[in-house]
Structure 1
Amino acid sequence: MCDYTITLQNTADEAQIETLLDLTFGQERKSRPSYTFRADVSAVPDLSFSVRSSSSSCSSGKLLGTLRFWPVLIGGETALLLGPLAVQPDLQGKGIGKALVTHGMNEAKKMGYRLCFVVGEQPYYAPYGFELAKPLGFDMPVPVSAEKFQVLSLQSDAFLALPKGFISPWESVYESQAAREI
C-alpha cells in the first residue's frame, strides 16, 4: 500500500484529475445528470482535494485520488454536493476513498456547512450516515435514481431546521463562501 497525502487541489492537478475521472467513470460521465446539474459551477476551492503518493515505492507524487464538493442551495441555505470521488482503479478498496470522504466531511463541518448531498451507491455512502434524500423531502431538478440521491446532516439540527424541496446549483462559490462568513 502506498503512503499518501491529502492536499487541496491546484490548477496543476487538473489534467491528471480529468484523466483519472475518465479512467474511473468513462468519458460519457459528462452527460450524466449530476454533471449536467453542476455545469458552469465552480467546485468549492477549500473542499477540493487530491491524494498523492508520498512514498518512493508508489511513484512519489502520483495522483491516487480526487474528491470535490460543489455549492448548492436548498431554500436560502448553502449546502454541498459531494462528487465525483475517484481513486486509481488498482488502489480501490484500500481506504483512499474512505480517507478522502472522511477528510472532506470533517473540513465541511469546520466550515459550518449543515447538509451534504451525493448521487452515489448507497452501500458505499451509508456508513458515513448518508440517508435517502427523497423520503426526507429533498429532490434534484435533474433525473437521478431515488436509490442514489442521498443526504447527510453535518450538524445535528439540519434536517429539522432547513427547508425541503429541490436543491439548485449555486453559480458563484465565492458568493457562497462570502455568505458563510456573514
Structure 2
Amino acid sequence: MTPDLPIFTVPDFVIDAEADADVQAREALLDRAMGEGRKRKSSEKLRRGRLPSPGLAFVARNGAGAVIGSVRLWDVACGDKPLLLLGPLAVEPSAAGHGVGSALMRHAMARAAELGHGAIILVGDAPYYARFGFSALKTGGVMMPGPVERDRLLGHELRSGHLDGVGGLLAARGRRAERAQPQPQRSPVPARIARVA
C-alpha cells in the first residue's frame, strides 16, 4: 500500500460539515466519480458563481480523515417559491455500496428540514432517489436552464404542500461566491515623488 494515497476504510466513516480545506479533495472526488462532463450539466448553471446554502455542504470522511463522499445543497427559486437544489452527490468509487451516499443524503435532508427549508429538487436516477422520498410527481411544471430528462427532475417536500403548483424556470439565488480580485501590478521602477515648491 502506498502511504500517500487515501485509505478507504468503509463502513467506518463520519459525516462532517465541509471545510475550506476540503475543496481540493472534493473537486478531485467529483472528477473521479462523475467525470469531466460534470461541469456541463444543466444543474451546474444554477451552481456556477454561487455558494452552497448556509450549513448545507457535507463530506463523508473515512477513518483516516480522507474525503470519500460529498453532497451540497444550493438555494434556487421557481418563480417566487424558494427551493433547494441537491447535488452533486458523489462517493469515492472504491467506497461505493457501503452506505456512504445514503448517509450523506439522509444527513443533508434532515439538516435542511431543521433549517426550515420547504423542498429539495435534484436531477438524478429516479429508482435510487425514490428510497429518500423523491419523485417527479410535482416537478412537471419546473424547467431547468438547459436540457434535462423530465423523469430525472425529482422533488421531495420537507413541508407538506411546498411543491403544490410550483412551475416555471429555476433560477439561482442565495450567496454569490467571491471572485479573487486581481492585485494591482507594481512597477519595478520606484515611483518618483513630485515636490511641490
TM-score, reference length from structure 2:
0.79
Residue of structure 2 equivalent to 1:20: 29
Larger helix fraction of residues = 1
Residue of structure 2 equivalent to 1:43: 52
CA contact (8 A) 1:71 1:173 kept: no
Alpha-carbon deviation of 1:123? 1.0
Q: Where do 1:98-109 residues align within 5 Å? A: 98-109=102-113
Residue of structure 1 equivalent to 2:169: 166
Post-superposition CA distance 1:41-89 (Å, at most 9, x none): 11123000011113xxxxx111110000011012223210000001110
| RMSD of aligned residue pairs (Cα, Å) | 1.8
**Count of matched residue positions in the alignment of Structure 1 and Structure 2:** 168
Unaligned runs of 5+ in 2: 1-9, 178-197
Q: Where do 1:49-68 residues align within 5 Å? A: 49-54=58-63, 60-68=64-72
Cα distance, 1:170–1:98 mapped onto 2, change above 3 Å: same
Post-superposition CA distance 1:124-166 (Å, at most 9, x none): 1111111116754222122111121111111112133x64222
CA contact (8 A) 2:134 2:155 kept: yes
Alpha-carbon deviation of 1:114? 0.7
Cα distance, 1:77–1:61 mapped onto 2, change above 3 Å: same
Residue of structure 2 equivalent to 1:180: none
Larger strand fraction of residues = 1
1:81 maps to which of 78, 82, 85:
85
1:92 maps to which of 96, 101, 109:
96
Please identify runs of 4+ aligned residues in structure 1 that moved more than 6 A. none
CA contact (8 A) 1:64 1:87 kept: yes
CA contact (8 A) 1:113 1:154 kept: yes
User: In terms of mean alpha carbon deviation, does 163-172 or 99-108 score higher?
Assistant: 163-172
Q: SS where residue 83 of structure 2 aligns?
A: strand
Alpha-carbon deviation of 1:26? 0.9
1:112 paired with 2:121, answer no
Residue of structure 1 equivalent to 2:152: 148
Alpha-carbon deviation of 1:173? 6.4
Post-superposition CA distance 1:92-124 (Å, at most 9, x none): 111110000000000000111111110111111
TM-score, reference length from structure 1:
0.85
